[in-house]
Structure 1
Amino acid sequence: MIAKMSKYAFVLYAAQSDDFIGRLRELGLVDITTTGWEPSEEDRQLMLDIEGCARAAEFLKTFRADAGRFDAQAAPFASGEEAYARYAAAQREAAALQAEIGRLEKAAEELRPWGAFDPARVGALAADGVVLRYFSTQRNLFDKNAAGWSAQYALAEIGRSDAAVWFVVVAAPGEEIPLDAQEMKAPGMDIREAERRIAEARAGLARLDAEFSRVAVSERLLVGYAASLRERLQGARVKATAHAEAEGRLVVMEGWAEKETSDRVDALLEAYPGVVYLKGDPEPGDDTPVKLKNNRFARVFELVGDMYARPKYGTMDLTPFFAPFYMLFFGICLNDAGYGAILTLLGVWMLSRNRKPGMMRQAAWFATLCGAMTVAFGLLCGSFFGINMKEWFPGIPFFDFQGRFFSIALAIGMVQILFGMLLKVVMISSTAGFRHSLASLGWLLVLLGASVAGGLPMLDPAWTIPFYTPSSPAFYATLGAGAVLMLFFNSPGRNPFVNFGLGLWDTYNNLTGILSDVLSYIRLFAIGLSGGILATVFNALADGFVPEGANIVVRLLVMVPILLVGHGINLFMSTISSFVHPMRLTFVEFYKNAGFEMSMRSFEPLRKMDDSENQ
């Protein structure tokens, strides 16, 4: 559900703003509106430094793992600011050295065929009028023409490979040498000098490890410095978007707090000198921040909903309603008890490694729940790593996914769409009034009546309701009531003829839209089927490579690598599909029919960032 908010307007002296923001940060309960903030040059530098601190944390994590480079006994820096400045300088130097090494290594590759020589003597010869010209050509071409070229020019072969030959020609300054070979630029140094410079640059990189070690042992100070930078940026945003009044002597800020904690905000404001505040409820046009408050199960699936948007304040949080469907859809798409067991074990392992609340623990619970649903659905269908479990347990009536699930997928889609329409009726009734939901209620009645009267018998003739068939008076009464609501009550208060015209137009759009929405749920069947077929193919492929009459050891040596690679690829691809496609059904089909309205603003109160945070 969406937490109730209280709206505040603060008026205070401009000179108090820094202290006031600090007190709100310590309280950690107030979200200040900073809409329209444009960062200044100083703010942009703050953002760059914050990003640099985050990169430093990632670098140090890898650096500390390298025992050959990290010196745990290094002396720490005096402050986080100094640690970051020295890290940034060392990184710039390291980047320059790495670029120089790359350039020198490329040059060394070009110099290697010429071997070792004295560039000073070459220069002295050129000063005396003896110029060395450098060439390379294909080996067979050189061997064919070497005798003729040597008769015409003073030529010496320097080196050769399987494909090419490098040679020099002694010539006079400006002399034309029309050889069928590629002339190369005269080397400015020899291979020994290039390798010496490479070694020198690498030694410089190694020396920087001492500086990085000092930064690594100062990591707590660095994280604290990053937190202070975020607090400074937070304060800069608030002050930049506050409204100045009374020739800049006063500032006005807009803030938000949860209703259940607003009494603590009131206590702070009452005790703070020189602040005048107004408190009220949000209005429909306000950009009210949104905070979700769900039970432990639904909270796991908030990470799915947040990939699209938070619901608009004053509407309905759909997370608790799509969560069971998402879990079911994931299990249907992956549809293998073996794959589900691997995903569940991965989730349990992640839970054991991430015991503190946060995104990683939320993701671990998500993997565990979806994996458990996959195990349950895979056992229902009798699929275990692509093996048909009916061969092992012939007495158990496993569900025939390939033969029966196509129509069931459409039925599941219709159920979710109707459920979304019901939620839309409830939401409109609670926000705008029941009479504004009558058109949506009409559509719900028509589709529900058609599904019960015509859809249930299509799934199973035994599910026919005798008094509610496509030819029964009850069915026609439902359609009639729904049609009246759809055509004449879509815009309460308007002319009935206008409503009728709008109703006809909406009927066309909704019918075509609902048809495409329901057909979208075929993807559940298609993805589940394709993953199962691929698993079967890999099993057959592994079995097909086993030599006839091979013993168990040979069978394992041949089959295990094929099965590991094949099922690994299939598990990876199927898991991605099982994650993405239920999300698509949620955001497109379910959200649309449930009347979802998005908010682009989450509740993010000013808060004190402790040294352990790295956000």
Structure 2
Amino acid sequence: MIVKMQKYAFLVHHEDFPNFLEDVQRIGVLDITTEKRSMNEEEKALLDLASRYNVAIKALLRKKEGLEQLTNQMPQDVLERFEAIVKDREALDSDLKKLRKEHAEHYPWGDFNPEAIKDLESKGLKVKFFTTPSKRYDLEWENKFPLQVINEQNGVIYFVCIQPEGENFAIPATEVKAPVHASSTLSKDIAAVNSKIESLEEELAGLSHYVDMLSKARAELLENIDIKSIFYGAKREVEGSVVLVTGFAPHDSIGELNAYLESKSIVYLTEEATEQDNPPIKLKNGKFASLFEWIGELYVPPSYNELDLTAFFAPFFVLFFGLCMGDIGYGFVFLIAGLLLKNRTSLSKFRPFLILMMWLGAGTIIMGSLSGGVFGTEMATWPFLPQNIQKLFLNRNQMMLFAVGIGFVQILFGLSLKAYNRANKNGNWKFALGPIAWIIILLGAAASFVDPIKPFTWHIILTGVGILLLFGNPDKNIFARVGLGMAELYDITGFFGDLLSYIRLFALGLSGSILGLVVNQIAALTLGSLPFGLDYVIFGLVLVLGHGANIALASLGSFVHPLRLTFVEFYKNSGFEGNGRYYRPFAKKVKQ
């Protein structure tokens, strides 16, 4: 649900304003409204410094902690040393790249003494370097010219020719630039650069001890940025001597704030927030629904006066995920993994996600039980199961109808929420008649598939159409109602399109079960193909790796498609407006 907000307006003397901001930030419940403006140079500098801290923290978190290199250092010193190391490392990486390229070019020529070449040149002998494909090298060249083959590598022959001054031998090969260094010298240079890089890496590992200190410094910096943003963005009155501050706080968290305001004798006004005030949105749900709040945040927050749909889409999301996975074995993998990992201290930050994984695993087990799929096999084909139990499992046609049926239920549920939302928003039950009319029309269409009430199909549909035309828009006159109602009847095609969208739940589950079956068949081919029981080892590896990859692939689709059905079909049919903004209190980030 959406927590009710209290609106505040403060009048603060400009000299007391900085202290007021610090106190409000310490209390940490007020979402302060600021005017839109461009950042000044001071704020930009602080933001740039925070960004530098962020880069350092992310890089150091990836490092394994090593021996501590610095003691009693300030965050700024650690940051500057980190940036210096990164700069040096970039320069060394560039040097290493050049050396490796040069080594690759010089390596075929082997080790030689550059001074010996200079000595020959001083005596009038020019040393020239040539390459040619091995198949084009002619042994007769060795009789004609003073040459020496140095190396043959990758189908290329490398050789040198010594020419006396004044002569120019016409050798049909490619002359290349003379190497400057021996390959052994370049190897030593590469080793020296690698040694320096290792030393810098060790120092970076030492700096990883300071991640907590850097994180705290970044948080304090962000707090300062928040203060500056509000300080410069607040509205000044009475020639700048008085500052007007407005904001919102949740009803259940205003005790400490009110006590502070009374103790400081600060002039303020407070009233119940309304939709026109555009208050921020804070969600408060039970243990189960709160696990899905982050999913709802992938979309947009609800308006202040409408329903929070988190608790309403959460059960459907679990069932839809289970339908897409469609395998009892995969469900137990999720459930057991969540049970084993949720209480680990190192994973405490991920505990809500691990509990959610357990719920999704339970949903997969329940939905997988309908078709009886277990790691790519079908329980309906197990010979040891009694026939009366085998008949309980749904076949593919029945599973497809079940997916459409559960989608039909969600659409009707969404329309019910839309009816409640309209009546609650407008303060009159008559505004709920439009969605109720659509519920009657859709139920009438569904009645055509139920033999006992099939004769009454058109009576039900026409009743719904009549309500929609006459009462669907109660705030309009009778002619406008009929006209708008007739235009709304075109939406019937949209409802059928929404209904067909739920077939994707069945299709995804079917594709996952087929892939699981293929994994089993490939694994079975390995049996009997290797001696000494190695075939069973390969068999097990194929099953583990194959089903692991299938679980990963199916998990992605099983999350994305229910997400799409929630945000498109369910939110639309629920009349979700979603033009709110989330509650972001002005608070200490270190405490958060």
Q: Give the TM-score taking structure 1 as reference length.
A: 0.87
Mapped to 1, the partners of 2:167 and 2:285 lie a distance apart of: 86
Counterpart pick for 2:554 among 556, 574, 587: 574
CA 205–551 in structure 1, closer or farther in 2 if over 3 Å, else same:
closer
Which residue number corresponds to residue 516 of structure 1? 497
TM-score (norm 2): 0.90
Secondary structure of 1:63 counterpart: coil
CA distance in 1, matches of 2:214, 2:504: 49
Q: Which residue of the other structure, out of 513, 520, 524, is the alignment partner of 1:543?
A: 524
Other structure's SS at 1:166 match = strand
CA contact (8 A) 1:77 1:83 kept: no
> Which among 564, 581, 585 is matched to residue 605 of structure 1?
585
* Aligned-partner Cα distance in 1 for 2:167–2:553: 65
Question: What amino acid does structure 2 have at the position aligned with 1:30?
Answer: L
Q: CA deviation at 1:551?
A: 9.5
Selected match of 2:331 from 340, 348, 356:
340
- 1:310 is paired with a residue whose SS is coil
Residue in structure 2 matched with residue 81 of structure 1 by the alignment: 76
Give the partner amino acid of 1:9: A
SS of equivalent residue, structure 2 residue 409: helix
Give the counterpart letter for 2:372 in structure 1.
Answer: G
Report whether the alignment pairs 1:501 with 2:456: no
Q: Which moved more, 1:424-433 or 1:497-506?
A: 497-506
Give the match for residue 401 of structure 2. Answer: 407
Pairing 1:215–2:207 present: yes
CA contact (8 A) 1:77 1:215 kept: no
Structure 2 unmatched ranges of 5 or more: none
1:320 aligns with 2:311: yes
2: CA distance, partners of 1:174 / 1:49: 66
* 1:461 paired residue number: none
Report the 3-state secondary structure (helix = DSSP H, G, I; strand = E; otherwise coil) of the residue aligned with 1:598: coil
**What's the counterpart of residue 22 of structure 2?**
22
Choose which of 339, 363, 382 in structure 1 pairs with 2:353.
363
Q: Distance in 2 between matches of 1:9 and 1:169?
A: 91
- Give the Cα–Cα distance (whole angstroms) in 2 for the partners of residues 599 and 357 of structure 1: 33
Which residue does 2:414 correspond to in 1?
420
Aligned position for 2:536: 556
The change in CA–CA distance for 1:14 and 1:556 in structure 2 (over 3 A counts) is same
1:71 counterpart = 2:58: no
C-alpha distance in structure 2 between counterparts of 1:488 and 1:199, whole Å:
87
CA contact (8 A) 1:37 1:240 kept: no
Distance 1:132-1:440 versus aligned 2 partners, 3 A rule: farther
Distance in 2 (CA, whole Å) between partners of 1:203 and 1:494 is 81
| Matched residue, 2:441 | 446
Amino acid at match of 1:227: A
- Counterpart position of 2:343: 352
Cα distance change of structure 1 residues 159 and 415 upon mapping to structure 2, 3 Å threshold: same
How far has the Cα of 1:522 moved from its partner?
0.5
Segment drifting more, 329-338 vs 386-395? 386-395
Task: Tell me, in whole angstroms, the C-alpha distance in 2 between the residues paired with 1:46 and 1:130.
Answer: 66
What is the one-letter code of the residue matched to 2:564? R
Which residue identity does 2:95 align to in structure 1? E
Partner of 2:557, secondary structure, is helix
Match in the other structure for 1:592: 572
Asked if the contact 2:130–2:176 (Cα under 8 Å) also holds between the matched residues in 1, the reply is yes
Which secondary structure does the structure 2 equivalent of 1:312 belong to?
Answer: coil
Q: Which whole-Å deviations, capped at 9, do the CAs of 1:34-81 have from their partners, x for residues lacking one?
A: 46354445434434443443443343344335xxxx115x44232222
In structure 2, give the amino acid aligned to 1:217: H
- Matched-pair identity in %: 32
Moved more, 202-211 or 420-429: 202-211
Secondary structure (helix, strand or coil) at the match of 2:268 reads strand
Contact 1:7/1:282 (<8 A) preserved: yes
Runs of 5+ unmatched residues, structure 1: 458-463
Change (3 A) 1:123 1:243: farther
Which residue in 1 is equivalent to 2:243? 251
Task: Check conservation: 1:87, 1:212, Cα contact below 8 A.
Answer: yes
Residue 371 of structure 1 and its aligned partner are, at CA, apart by 0.6
Distance 2:198 2:414 in 1: 62
The one-letter code sitting in structure 1 at the alignment partner of 2:14 is A
Contact 1:311 1:599 survives alignment (8 Å): yes
Amino acid at match of 1:427: N
Distance 2:541 2:222 in 1: 50
CA–CA distance in 2 between the matches of 1:431 and 1:560? 59
Give yes or no for the alignment of 1:304 onto 2:295. Answer: yes
Instruction: Measure, in 2, the Cα distance between the counterparts of 1:8 and 1:315.
Output: 22
CA RMSD of aligned residues (A): 3.0
Looking at structure 2, the residues matched to 209 and 50 of structure 1 have their Cα atoms a distance apart, in angstroms, of 24
Q: Could you tell me which of 484, 489, 507 is aligned with 1:526?
A: 507
Q: 1:16-55 to 2 correspondence within 5 Å? A: 16-34=16-34, 36-55=36-55
Shift of 1:521: 0.5
**Relative to structure 1, is the Cα distance of residues 198 and 30 closer, same or farther in structure 2, using a 3 angstrom cutoff?**
same
Pair 23,385 (structure 1): closer, same or farther in 2 beyond 3 Å? same
Q: How many residues align?
A: 587
CA contact (8 A) 2:325 2:554 kept: yes
